[in-house]
Each structure stands twice: as structure tokens, then as C-alpha cells.
Amino acid sequence: MPCKLQIAKEVKEDILVCDDDVCNEIDLFLQSLQNNCLPDSRTELEPGAYFVKLPSGVFISWEVLTPSSKPISPIKLDKLVVRILGVAREAPVTRKMASKR
């Protein structure tokens, strides 16, 4: 059973203002994220939070919420919640990157 996605209203609105092709690309990525919340293409923002850059140039960031501090098990995806943090044309800024500014 796939993990559950949480997408805030503001993030949904950001997605809906994208071109149709980009919306479709985001939709496909979100569907795949439900079955694999840690894709190989991810970059870590901070522990438990990641982002990817889609071919269209759009960045999607998310965090994986686990019911405990145990490592993520691919067998128990139904217990995980993936919260989509944002969709943007600019890369998300990590705390480490922000502290260097």
C-alpha cells in the first residue's frame, strides 16, 4: 500500500498555475513518490527532507513523516506520510546554505 501524500492548499495552488505539461509532470512525480518516497534522484535538504528538480526545471520539496524514529522500511510504506513542502522554479534553500549567506 502506498504512503499518504499531504499537500497544503497553497502548494496545490502553486501547482495549478503551472502550464499543463508541467502540471502533468508534477502529477506523475507525486504518484511515483507515493510508492517510493526516497527516489535516487533526490537531494537532501536536511534530515528527513528532500527535493528534486524535474526535467521542466520545477523543484519539488518534501519531508517524510514516520510514526517513530525507526528507519524507513519499504515494506511499511502505508505507515508513512509524505508532506509536500513546496513547488517552485527556484531550488529550496537548506539551513546549511542559508547560514552561509
Q: For the residues 7-35, what does the mean pLDDT come to? A: 95
pTM of the model: 0.82
* Distance from C-alpha of 64 to C-alpha of 4, rounded to nearest angstrom: 10
Q: Which residue has the higher pLDDT, 33 or 100?
A: 33
What confidence tens digit (pLDDT) does each residue in 34-54 have?
988 899 999 999 888 999 999
Is 72's pLDDT higher than 80?
Answer: no
Domains of the chain, start order: 4-99 (3.30.2310.20)
Q: Report the distance separating Cα 26 and Cα 2, nearest Å.
A: 17
